[in-house]
Amino acid sequence: MREWSLSQLLAGLHDDIEQRLSIARKSFSHPGTKGSASEHVWLELLQNYLPQRYQAATAHVVDSLGQFSDQIDVVIFDRQYSPFIFKFEGQVIVPAESVYGVFEAKQVIDAEQVKYAQDKAESVRKLMRTSLPIPHAGGIFPPKPLPYILAGLVTFESGWNPPLGQPLLNSLISEPESRLDLGCVAAHGVFGFDEAGSYSLRPKGKPATAFLLELIALLQNSGTVPMIDVRAYARWLAS
């Protein structure tokens, strides 16, 4: 009888992600093709391993005021309680109320890419989100507080030496609306914003698996998305 090993299974998940990111980096010369391949690796990881209440896709985010975010490499959004997802000619647009997290996927982490991911996070967090009272058998619950939208950056390698050190910590300093909460450098480690209000660096280990498990834990703490005011979006229908 075959004996299973949980440690080997978790390590194997990371090894597969790191190897695929490495192949993408070495095999494609065109930056756009290389970036798309890396993005697909991270998307497939989340699509395969996140609980089914979540969906991950490259998308724009829109609010009921008609404001759009930048295109986001990886949007994690609700598919259980959100009533609509727009798809047009391969483009995905999700309502701001359905978003749990946004991540950028790049080949290398450096100060420029950190700032890029911070700007992308801000473009989503600044959108307006509705939250309606929730009817139930005994009456009506008040509107659910808007959950915090997670943001981060996932890469294969680091442009710094050491890969995870003070230059990374310095680049992560930002205003709350652009803060990156969690990140993975698959070849080197994981970083995260902790409850004490500072960043921690976790080098080595099996970073891709560690990132996935920490992300799931953070999503669990987020609860569920608010009840969206669909009529707020309906106002954009032509009369």
Percent of all residues in the chain with a pLDDT value above 70, rounded to a whole number: 95
Query: Out of 73, 122, 157, 181, which one is annotated catalytic?
Result: 73
Q: Considering the domain boundaries, does residue 236 fall inside one?
A: no
Residue 49 located in a structural domain: yes
Dihedral, CA of residue 59, residue 155, residue 218 and residue 189, to nearest 10: 180
The verdict on whether 3 is a catalytic residue reads no
Query: 63, 78, 97, 104: which one is catalytic?
Result: 104
Question: For residue 140, is it within any domain?
Answer: no
Amino acid, res. 125? R
Pairing of strands 150-155, 99-105: parallel
Q: Which of 63, 106, 120, 157 is catalytic?
A: 106
Domain count, the chain: 1
Establish if 1 belongs to a structural domain. Answer: no
The tens digit of pLDDT for each residue in 70-115 reads 999 999 999 877 777 888 788 899 999 999 999 999 999 999 999 9
106 is catalytic: yes
At a CB cut-off of 8 Å and minimum separation 6, what does 222 contact?
Answer: 100, 147, 148, 150
The residue among 185 and 34 whose pLDDT is bigger is 185
Average pLDDT (22-46) is 79
Give domain status of residue 210, yes or no: yes
Residue 137 lies in a domain: no
Where in the sequence is the domain holding 21, given as residue range(s)?
8-131+149-228
* pLDDT-derived band at 223, boundaries 50, 70, 90: confident
If one compares 27 and 148, the residue with the highest pLDDT of the two is: 148
Q: For residue 191, is it within any domain?
A: yes
**Mean pLDDT (the chain, rounded):** 90
Specify if 185 maps to a domain: yes
